[in-house]
Amino acid sequence: MTPVIETIDLSRGYGSVPALQSLSLSVPEGTVCALLGPNGAGKTTAVRILATLDRPDSGSARICGFDVVEQAGQVRRRIGLAGQHAALDDALNGRDNLFILGLMHHLGRRRAGARADELLERFGLAEAAGRLVRTWSGGMRRRLDLIASLITEPPVLFLDEPTTGLDPRSRNEIHSTITDLARSGSTVLLTTQYLEEADRLADDVMIIDSGREIAHGTPAQLKDLLGARVEVLVETAGLLSGAAATLTGLGGRELVTDAESGRISATVPTGSLSLPGLVRHFDDRGIALLDAEVRRPSLDEVFLNLTGGSR
């Protein structure tokens, strides 16, 4: 499948500081790709280059087959961008913000008005359309900023940390909007500081650090990198050595033992062990368990492990 968003060995530096280093990315149509990384990792630089707001030092990038440098005009006709800060006029109401944006994109008065009404209704903002934007909540303003990027019905959307600073309810509203967009066929590149957001929304995740890719895959594939964490509680401290030997035999590593509580935990390869299977292994060895747990790592844990704990 021809990728809608593609970069090949994309590099960009600012003075002696490398922002991107040979970054290669491929995003198929109708999917959500999350670009994750610590502050300063190069996420916003990548978005700026793809949105034709900056130029790479080397490498190439294409949107819908068009080169972002040589065919910037063609690229701009096919993208929508919602940056980290809302680009709205507080002195206008919600509908007028969208209507004026439509006129700026040469939609004509009738089409601009119809498109504004359509978007406000579709994304649950119609009732507030006539109110000044300065009276809107942060979540509503962020949602309006996001749908403003849809005024020309672009097939590709760049969302640079769209939920930063929002409360959980407002973030959920934005999440629903992004999901609806992908279902309707839009291709979305999302940068975010919220790992659970990427886990919930993204079909594919790339983690970068210092401008370089350090991991890439589906959320499930990235979690598999760390393995599952197993914890058991034995009846007596005298069973701990046998429990440790059992976990080691199951491929366990990074064993942590608490003799006082009778708990022992270890990391095992993901998918190698179910909870019933774990209990059977201990039963077969005559080790009575009071409690047992098999827990898959979160994407937060994967991120912190790969980036050395930086956020």
CA-wise closest residue to 151 among 247, 80, 255? 80
- Kindly tell me if the per-residue pLDDT of 311 is higher than 60: no
Please give the single-letter amino acid code of residue 174: I
- Kindly tell me if the per-residue pLDDT of 38 is higher than 70: yes
> What are residue 264's phi and psi, to 5 degrees?
-145, 140
Confidence at 227, pLDDT banded by 50, 70, 90 = confident
Query: What are the structural domains, with CATH classification, of the chain?
Result: 5-223 (3.40.50.300), 228-295 (3.30.70.100)
Close Cβ partners of 9 (under 8 Å, ≥ 6 residues apart): 22, 23, 24, 58, 59, 60
133: DSSP letter: G
**In this structure, are residues 6 and 191 in contact, taking their beta carbons and an 8 Å threshold?**
no
Compute the radius of gyration of the chain from its Cα atoms: 24
Q: How many residues does the chain have?
A: 311
Average pLDDT over residues 95-110: 92
Higher pLDDT, 253 or 1: 253
Predicted local distance difference test score (pLDDT) of residue 274: 77
Adjacent-strand bridge partners of 209: 212
In whole angstroms, what is the distance from residue 247 CA to residue 76 CA? Answer: 56
In whole angstroms, what is the distance from residue 146 CA to residue 141 CA? Answer: 9
pLDDT per position as a tens digit, 290-304: 898 888 888 888 888
Predicted local distance difference test score (pLDDT) of residue 266: 87
Location of structure tokens 């059977």: 280
Predicted local distance difference test score (pLDDT) of residue 74: 95
pLDDT per position as a tens digit, 57-83: 999 999 999 999 999 999 999 998 887
Q: Which two tokens stand for residue 176?
A: 């629903």
Predicted local distance difference test score (pLDDT) of residue 31: 93
**In this structure, are residues 144 and 97 in contact, taking their beta carbons and an 8 Å threshold?**
yes
**In this structure, are residues 99 and 112 in contact, taking their beta carbons and an 8 Å threshold?**
yes
In whole angstroms, what is the distance from residue 273 CA to residue 279 CA? Answer: 10
Predicted local distance difference test score (pLDDT) of residue 268: 85
pLDDT per position as a tens digit, 139-156: 888 888 888 888 888 899
Predicted local distance difference test score (pLDDT) of residue 93: 94
Q: How far is CA 205 from the centre of its chain?
A: 7
Confidence at 138, pLDDT banded by 50, 70, 90 = confident
